[in-house]
Amino acid sequence: MYTLTHLNELESESIYVLREVAAQFERPVILFSGGKDSIVITHLAHKAFYPLRLPFPLLHIDTGHNFRETIDYRDALVKKLGATLIVGSVQESIDNGRVKEETGYNASRNKLQTITLLDTIEKYKFDAAIGGARRDEEKARAKERFFSHRDEFGQWDPKNQRPELWNIFNGKKNTGEHFRVFPISNWTEMDVWQYIYKERVEMPSLYFTHERDVFCRDGQWLAAEPCMKRKPGEIVERKQVRCRTIGDISCTGLTLSRATSLEEIIDEIAATRVTERGGRADDKRSETAMEDRKISGYF
Amino acid sequence: MEKKETPGGYLDMELLRFTTAGSVDDGKSTLIGRLLYDSKSIFEDQLEDIEAVSRRGGNEEVNLALLTDGLRSEREQGITIDVAYRYFATPRRKFIIADTPGHVQYTRNMVTGASTADLAIILVDARNGVLEQTLRHSYIASLLGIPHVVVCVNKMDLVNFSGEVFEAIRARYLEVAARLGLQHVTFLPLSAKLGDNVVSPSTRMPWYTGPTLMEILENTPIDHKINARETRFPVQHVIRPISDKFHDFRGYAGRLAGGTLKKGDPVTIFPSGLHSTVTAVTRYDRELDEAITPESITVQLADDIDVGRGDLIVARGEQPRVEREITLMVCWFNERPARPGNRYIVMQATRETAGILKTIHHVVNINTLEPETGKEALSANDIARVTIKTAKPLVFDPYARNRVTGSLVLVDPDTFETVGGGMITDGE
């Protein structure tokens, strides 16, 4: 007789949720950003239905401002799993006039992604979009459900969420509505890394310390890529950095680090005193920035 | 078991889920903030954030309560209106807190938060003693079958850390516990604001020699691990790959809801009553010697029989109930009232069927716990004893025996909202 460890129990819970998605929805899709959380979701989904091939396509919302490593990793993973990849292009949304690009030094396509995402969900008639959001990430997410109902405008109503009891998940909806599903809701950043370590999940090189051209803005290191417009006085330096979260280049803060292995990353996280979203420019806009974006249909 | 240390903690910690219910001013948010703060689960940027908000709100001290009050509307009203989930870990355990509001109008939120908890923290203000709301929170813990209750007598600093006050509250609460049939109740005196007995032992209450709250949380046995009981495996999904390599593979995917399961076990499938034998229990590509609750596994059977989502696989001889008329305690969530004759979709374990509300036996007055008969409809936050009739039979155990097979939710067929949560007491 053995007992379940916290990682076994979290994995079991997440696999349960993923299997509920397969049972209750007709056209589910995994929102794949190339970040560790969506990588873990894909890994869990692969395990949940084995020996069946991954039953959900991967949807990548491409802002056009991606790290090359993210795209390489994505394509290799899709090939390895025999999965279907769908790309929703923010550049296309801009070209079609669906969204208007932000201007200025802090311009980011992060917010524009929402429209591209909702358009892609509608185009493919996806009824469940599976994401890697976790409740420990940000205060507005602490109240998110596993099965999060979205109205026909893709909006989240924080005051009118369906109660979620025991392990019964209600995925019923009217035509045109869809669900966001968050199977790793109960995981923390540390759980995710411990799981990656335990399962030996292959990770993009961006998470490990490497040398890169960077510049400093408001105390945060950002990648000196062509899409990043620098203010006068912002000087490019070459530094040893790694990503703690991976998003679009414009909102991914880089951490000065020496961690080159999973063990060292876990050590670094255990010692660190700033939340991982502390490096996300998009959350810093106001005290309730995340809540506002979620209401409008953000991930 | 091998204790393997890894950087940053252990890979084999246990997981404890607990719930807190509290009203404005009883210090619940401060207590949680204190647990997170003293266990070093708060990061610098979160602290800076709440310091800034505290200053803007005119607070002189850092308001730890702000750590748990997330949504804008809550910050504005200064109350917690939904269930918020919080996380922290010690080297022994990872903890999930379901933090719920405590007022009558949020009974549904308390019920939701309590549904998955292994332990409930009941906060009592040392100045006020056992109140109506203490009774209410305790009743919900008992109704939802939470195995352990920890009564925290808070604000001891405001009663001069008096042992007499604590003992009087303890004696009064033991009457409540007896009335509700609560089994495992622990008491401790603390001050969430000053940190006494939360993580560090208090130096101001030498008369108390018991464990701190953190020690209690770290050492309370976790129910499903000590309580194996009958084997219950609700089938979620059938896995049938169409490939040459796995030509005849037919796997039943699900999460074990009771007992254990291993290769060679004779089983019976309900509601059909067909028999078979387990030929393999797997997790991913690995065959398990034995699966335990609550593992997600895939099960293969010896016989080619009709098994699908909604069926329950049990150890042969450990018969569940199979009924179409079911009596349950229900908590009503919705503004649309429930009247006898109303139709609902019933979701129970992985089964789903149409149902009709037949009878409202009584509504519980959750301040006095007295049953009130003669109610014609249930309104939001009511807790009531009702009987439903289902189109297809449910396969269940009484909730007191199994929280997975004994629970159900009711869904409104017009709006698809989850309108009620039920704990089955019996079939007719």
Per-residue pLDDT at A283: 52
Biggest CA-to-CA distance, chain A:
65
Residue B75 has pLDDT above 90, yes or no: no
List, in order, residues 6 or more apart from B164 with CB less than 8 Å away: none
Q: Same structural domain for residues A35 and A127? A: yes
B5-226 CATH choice from 2.40.110.10, 3.40.50.1370, 3.40.50.300, 3.30.70.890 = 3.40.50.300
Q: State the Cα–Cα distance between residues B27 and B119, nearest whole angstrom.
A: 19
In this prediction the pTM is 0.90
Got the DSSP string for A162-187?
PP--TT-------TT-EEEE-TTTT-
Same structural domain, A109 and A213: no
Instruction: Answer yes or no: do A161 and A183 share one domain.
Output: yes
Is A197 among the domain residues? no
- Output B37 or B87, whichever has higher pLDDT: B87
User: In a mutagenesis test of the A interface, which of B46, B256, B296, B383 is the best target, namely the one with the most A β-carbons within 10 Å?
Assistant: B296
Q: Which of A19, A162, A186 sits opposite B96 (nearest CB)?
A: A186
Q: Note whether B353 contacts A: Cβ–Cβ < 8 A.
A: no
Question: Would you call A258 an interface residue with chain B, using a CB distance cutoff of 8 Å?
Answer: no
Residue A53 shares a structural domain with residue A182 = yes
Measured between alpha carbons, how far is B30 from B198 in angstroms, rounded to an integer?
11
Domain region containing A265:
204-282
Residue with tokens 């919900």: B140
Tally of helices (H runs) and strands (E runs) in chain B: 8, 24
Residues of A in contact with B350 (CB under 8 A): 23
Q: Which of residues 91-130 of A touch B (CB under 8 A)?
A: none
State whether the Cα torsion B92-B98-B103-B108 is positive or negative: negative
Specify the higher pLDDT residue, B321 or B63: B321
pLDDT at A273: 59
Rounded to an integer, what is the distance from CA B299 to the centroid of its chain?
27
- CA atoms lying within 13 Å on the CB side of residue B133: 21
Q: How far apart are CA B282 and CA A221, in angstroms?
A: 46
Q: What is the ipTM of this complex?
A: 0.91
Contact present, B96 and B119 (Cβ < 8 Å): no
Classify residue A1: in a domain, yes or no. Answer: no
Q: CATH number of the domain at A38, please.
A: 3.40.50.620
Q: Is there a single domain that holds both residue A82 and residue A159? A: yes
Residue A187, domain member (yes or no): yes
Reply yes or no on whether the pLDDT at B257 is more than 60.
yes
Tell me: do A104 and A186 sit in the same domain: yes
Q: Do A197 and B6 touch (CB under 8 A)?
A: yes
Same domain, A218 and A278: yes
- Domain boundary assignment for chain B: 5-226, 232-315, 321-427
* CA-CA-CA-CA torsion sign (A63, A65, A70, A72): positive
Residues A156 and A230 placed together within one structural domain of the fold: no
Are the folds of B232-315 and B321-427 the same? yes
Residues A67 and A167 grouped into a single domain: yes
Q: Chain A residue closest to B240 (CA)?
A: A52
Tally of domains in chain A: 2
For the stretch B201-226, pLDDT in tens is: 999 999 999 999 999 999 998 865 44
Give B234→chain A minimum CA distance, Å: 11
Q: In which band, very low, low, confident or very high, does the pLDDT at B2 lie, cut at 50, 70 and 90?
A: very low
Q: For residue B428, what pLDDT is reported? A: 46
B87 contacts A186? CB cut-off 8 A: yes
The per-residue pLDDT for range A46-67, each reduced to its tens digit, is: 999 999 999 999 999 988 888 8
Supply the DSSP symbol for B329. E
Q: Is the pLDDT of residue A130 over 80?
A: yes
- Nearest alpha-carbon partner for A49 in B117, B284, B233: B284
Compare CB distances from A5 to B13, B294, B350 and report the shortest one's residue: B13
| Domain shared by A14 and A62, yes or no | yes
Distance set, CA B256 to CA A106, A172, B98, B316, B415 (Å): 50, 24, 23, 15, 31
**Burial group, residue A1, by CB count within 10 angstroms (0-12, 13-18, 19+):** exposed
A221 near A238, Cβ under 8 Å?
no
CATH number of B321-427: 2.40.30.10
Question: Does CATH place domain B232-315 in 3.40.50.300?
Answer: no
Query: pLDDT grade, residue B399 (50/70/90)?
Result: very high
Choose between A46 and A156: higher pLDDT.
A46
Q: Within this chain, do residues A143 and A274 fall inside the same structural domain, yes or no?
A: no
